[in-house]
Amino acid sequence: MKVHLLFDTGTGNRRRLIDVTKLSEEFTPVYCAALLGLHAFSRCDTTSAFKGIGKVKPLKTLQKKTKHQEVFKCLRESWEVTNDLFLALEEFTCTMYNTSTKAKEVDRLMYEMLQSVWWSIEFKEKHRPLALTTPKSVFRSISRG
């Protein structure tokens, strides 16, 4: 017996039914299993657990690499978070925040991000245009000549 799972979403004129069973047939079984693990990892339906990331970016990150799909499949299958699983989740989090990073630990990624912001601020302070760094009193003395 085949059962169709329908998802009722939207309101008013934008209300629609999504055939989740048909949608699941378009993806691999590993990806479908990983979705439940990703949902648990990223927290609730409407609010992401990750600042400034939302819900779509983790999903797109998951779609890109089968390695991440296997990780979230494991998260779905067991309550036990082994050290290897923890490290893989950390690597996923780093990739989600910055796809070009080589950091695999969240602490390292945070360090890189803070260093980037600090360097950017320091560079701007040192290379600020003259008009922005010259006090008004200097302009007054120049104009009085």
Decide: residue 59, CB within 10 A, 0-12 exposed, 13-18 middle, 19+ buried: middle
Q: How far apart are CA 83 and CA 103, in angstroms?
A: 17
pLDDT, tens digit, 9 for 90 and up, residues 21-60:
888 888 898 988 898 888 888 876 665 567 777 778 888 8
What is the distance between the alpha carbons of residues 61 and 42, in angstroms, rounded to a whole number? 12
Q: Which two tokens mark 72?
A: 């979230």
Tell me: pLDDT of 18 over 60. yes
Closest-CA residue to 85 (of 74, 93, 94): 74
